Amino acid sequence: MFSGKENEAVIQYDKDWSEKIGLVKFDFLGLKTLTVIDNAVKFLRERQVDKGEKNLFNLDRIDYRDPKVYALISSGDTDGVFQLESSGMKDLCSRVKPSTLEDITAINALYRPGPLNSGMVDDYINRKHGITETVYDLPQLKDILEETYGVIVYQEQVMRVARVLAGYSLGEADILRRAMGKKKKEEMDQQREKFVTGAAKNSIAAETANKIFDLLAKFAEYGFNKSHSAAYGVLSYQTAFMKCYYPAEFMAAMLATEIHDTDKLSQYIADSRSHGIPVLQPDVNHSKKTFSVVDHAEGDAKKSPAIRFGLEAIKGVGGVAVDAILQERTEKGPFKNFIDFCTRVTLRKVNKKVIECLISSGAFDSIGEENRATMFESVEAVIAYAAKQQEQSDLGQVSFFDQYKSDSFKLDDAAFERLFSRAPDWPDSKKLQMEKQLVGFYVSGHPMEKWWQVAKDFVTTNLMGIHEQFAGRKEAAMKNPKPANSGGSAGKGGWKREEGPRWDVTLAALVGSYREIMTKKGSRMAFAELEDMGGKLEVVCFPDPYEKFGQLLKQSVDECQPFLFIGQIALDEESPKFFLKSVEPIAELQKRKVSSVVFMLDPSAVNSEKLIQLRATIVRHRGKCATFLEYLGAVNGANFTSRHALPLELFVNPTSEMAKEVNSLFGQDVVKFS
């Protein structure tokens, strides 16, 4: 024994020798899931208090037999659910279709290489669903194995069988369990003799006892500690319960816990949005330090919950700056505008870099009387003015503008006009690009959103689908090998790769990043990362396709521009890897696909001014695609549709920009491509 760096007692023996000299070994697990659950409950209770509710949520009182929770688990909708969110676990849950806490406990114990490869899992599933009859070699075994449908899943079951059938004590049963796990022949022979002898005292024939001993030995190798699995099962159920009934609070807690893991943040934000939970951009007046849950009032009469992005999750905005912002906001109220913010916060803590990061992430959008580009270009001038105001305030001086309240500032007054360098607002692509640089992903939208309706008819799967299907396709390919697809010849520059089984795929995505390298032959190739709204995927671009499409990869990164990517997934890799063959702009697909554009209008919401604006928009986007006005309404309770073809001079170019302008004009989606 000797002392560690913190004066703790440290033993120099391994665990087996430590036990032999009388020491007891404990394993302590620190699970961040406990923090997730705690935060989710806090978020929920805070909202209940704000609404004046008296009966606050209590996790200790949840129903562990709720069919809705088991339906969620069985559906595979388990992103964020403890132990059940991997693609393999999702598949196992959908096969088992758990209906009790015991089933979830068993799933946690069965999802390991041994049980999966030994057939235990298939036996469990078939017996649970009545496909295979559950038969017990002895009546005494039913009480022990009934909860797992006759399959020996847990170490405790092995020990209990030994005690009930062969009269083992608790200590002797544990020795048997360890002997079976280690598979030492000498020990096993001794235990078999002891087991058969003990069973004979309970009138069990030697043949039957030996058969059961062999069964125990077979399953003991894969047996799992039930107490461990049951504790995990409770956490699995609790997280599934929170996701089922309080998804906004639960996902906000997940995001807060994974605030520094951009891959996890992307996954959980995509999952939140797929469940209709808005994830709102950071805001200097509404965001807290980390993620929070708020009532989303915008366009929502019911004020359903939304998740608000935390200020500390913005790169370049550290905890010191966030604390200063929150303290000022708490003590003196919300910020009125951009200048009010800069004059009030402590510029030693909230410096130019922090303010630029806040602008670029959209944190001033709700109070900015100027666009992001103008605020960004004007930071130095505004900070200089704010610093002078703070200096005068510290000296006890009063400026002319102190006579007016912050909310009376008019930014078009000459004194304030000079502070701003006017600039056209950044295009959506740049805004999204800046957001991704600062938070690791797109916050206010995703470049794929406006293109997905066009691209979905051309793709074979999405990135999440690839990750979910990869293991199954890989296993099938290895069991039934076929000749490799063509394309393994040497490319320009001498690059050659022996190909294994491949899976042809067509994807709609954008390039998140790429890295160019030189081959030994002096040719250029690249490794890239594709991403869509639900996942990411590694890409290999050999010299031939890189020479043809390398510029498009760069364009996708620089302009947040999605493309259609055609290639293959190698099924002989450890993880999905996409080998690129060709790239095609989605905009070109749209032009080929769309034959007409229909503007679907509600007569009660249309006036002459809007029709004039519509005509002007069409003229700005003039093209070769036929256009129609379609009026949808009701007269005396009867619905009617009236379609009118527009003249040749009002044919349009069917672009997403045109659709966005028209939809914005009418405040809803009225453009239909057909």
**What is the per-residue pLDDT across 529-588, written as a single tens digit (0 to 9) for each?**
888 877 788 899 999 999 999 899 888 888 788 888 999 988 877 788 899 999 988 877
User: Of the given ranges (300-314, 401-415, 556-570, 600-614), which has the lowest mean pLDDT?
Assistant: 401-415
Instruction: Give the pLDDT of residue 591.
Output: 65
Q: The tokens of 110 are what?
A: 């069965």
Contact indicator for 659, 674 with CB cutoff of 8 Å:
no
Instruction: Give the pLDDT of residue 143.
Output: 93
Instruction: Give the pLDDT of residue 656.
Output: 73
Query: Where is pLDDT greater, at 301 or 82?
Result: 82
Residue 64 has pLDDT above 80, yes or no: yes
Instruction: Give the pLDDT of residue 492.
Output: 40
Dist. CA 265–CA 259, nearest whole Å? 7
Dist. CA 561–CA 559, nearest whole Å? 5
DSSP assignment letter at 594 = -
Contact indicator for 443, 449 with CB cutoff of 8 Å:
no
pLDDT, tens digit, 9 for 90 and up, residues 405-433: 444 444 445 666 678 888 888 888 788 88
- pLDDT band for position 486 (cuts 50, 70, 90): very low
Residue 216 has pLDDT above 90, yes or no: no
Dist. CA 249–CA 44, nearest whole Å? 6
Total Cβ atoms within 10 A of residue 304:
13
Dist. CA 331–CA 326, nearest whole Å? 9
H or E segment and range at residue 623:
strand 622-635
Contact indicator for 93, 84 with CB cutoff of 8 Å:
yes
pLDDT, tens digit, 9 for 90 and up, residues 256-285: 998 878 778 878 888 888 888 988 889 999
- pLDDT band for position 301 (cuts 50, 70, 90): very low
Residue 233 has pLDDT above 90, yes or no: yes
Report the amino acid identity of residue 405: K
Residue 637 has pLDDT above 70, yes or no: no
Q: Which residues of 416-443 are buried (b: 16+ CB within 10 A; e: fewer)?
A: beebbeeeeebebebbbbbbbebbbbbb
User: Of the given ranges (98-112, 436-450, 566-580, 613-627), which has the lowest mean pLDDT?
Assistant: 436-450
User: Of the given ranges (209-213, 361-365, 450-454, 657-661), which has the lowest mean pLDDT?
Assistant: 450-454
Instruction: Give the pLDDT of residue 289.
Output: 92
Residue 45 has pLDDT above 70, yes or no: yes
Instruction: Give the pLDDT of residue 491.
Output: 43
Contact indicator for 471, 573 with CB cutoff of 8 Å:
no
- Burial bucket for residue 444 (CB in 10 Å: 0-12, 13-18, 19+): middle
Angle between helices 67-75 and 226-245 (to 10 degrees): 100
Phi and psi at residue 3, to the nearest 5°? -95, 140
Query: Where is pLDDT greater, at 149 or 180?
Result: 149
Q: The tokens of 83 are what?
A: 């132990």
Instruction: Give the pLDDT of residue 416.
Output: 65
Instruction: Give the pLDDT of residue 484.
Output: 46
Number of C-alpha atoms within 13 angstroms, CB side, residue 220?
25
Instruction: Give the pLDDT of residue 415.
Output: 60
Residue 28 has pLDDT above 50, yes or no: yes
- Burial bucket for residue 401 (CB in 10 Å: 0-12, 13-18, 19+): middle
Q: Whole-model pTM above 0.75? A: no
Q: What is the chain's mean pLDDT, rounded? A: 84
- Burial bucket for residue 557 (CB in 10 Å: 0-12, 13-18, 19+): middle
Report the amino acid identity of residue 344: R
User: Of the given ranges (212-221, 521-530, 636-645), which has the lowest mean pLDDT?
Assistant: 636-645
Dist. CA 486–CA 493, nearest whole Å? 18
For 637-646, which contacts have Cβ atoms below 8 Å and span 24 or more sequence positions?
Answer: 643/598, 646/618
**Cross-strand pairs, 280:** 308
In sequence order, which residues have a C-beta less than 8 Å from that of residue 156 and are 6 or more positions away? 225, 226, 227
Instruction: Give the pLDDT of residue 396.
Output: 64
Percent of the chain with pLDDT strictly greater than 70: 91
| pLDDT, average across residues 352-380 | 91
Report the amino acid identity of residue 660: K
Dist. CA 427–CA 255, nearest whole Å? 28
In sequence order, which residues have a C-beta less than 8 Å from that of residue 120 and are 6 or more positions away? 110, 114, 151, 153, 219, 222
579 three-class SS: strand
Total Cβ atoms within 10 A of residue 197:
13
Instruction: Give the pLDDT of residue 51.
Output: 86
| pLDDT, average across residues 224-241 | 94
H or E segment and range at residue 616:
helix 608-620
Residue 508 has pLDDT above 50, yes or no: yes
Phi and psi at residue 505, to the nearest 5°? -140, 155
Dist. CA 438–CA 358, nearest whole Å? 9
- pLDDT band for position 304 (cuts 50, 70, 90): confident
- pLDDT band for position 490 (cuts 50, 70, 90): very low
Angle between helices 352-360 and 428-439 (to 10 degrees): 130
Instruction: Give the pLDDT of residue 299.
Output: 47
Query: Where is pLDDT greater, at 183 or 190?
Result: 190
Query: Where is pLDDT greater, at 612 or 416?
Result: 612
Instruction: Give the pLDDT of residue 137.
Output: 87
Residue 68 has pLDDT above 70, yes or no: yes
Which value, in Å, is the radius of gyration of the alpha carbons in the chain? 32
Instruction: Give the pLDDT of residue 480.
Output: 65
H or E segment and range at residue 305:
strand 305-308
Instruction: Give the pLDDT of residue 418.
Output: 77
Query: Where is pLDDT greater, at 104 or 299?
Result: 104
Percent of the chain with pLDDT strictly greater than 90: 40
Instruction: Give the pLDDT of residue 368.
Output: 77
Q: The tokens of 255 are what?
A: 């995001």
- Three-state SS string over 209-270 comes to HHHHHHHHHHHHCCCECHHHHHHHHHHHHHHHHHHHHCHHHHHHHHHHHCCCCHHHHHHHHH
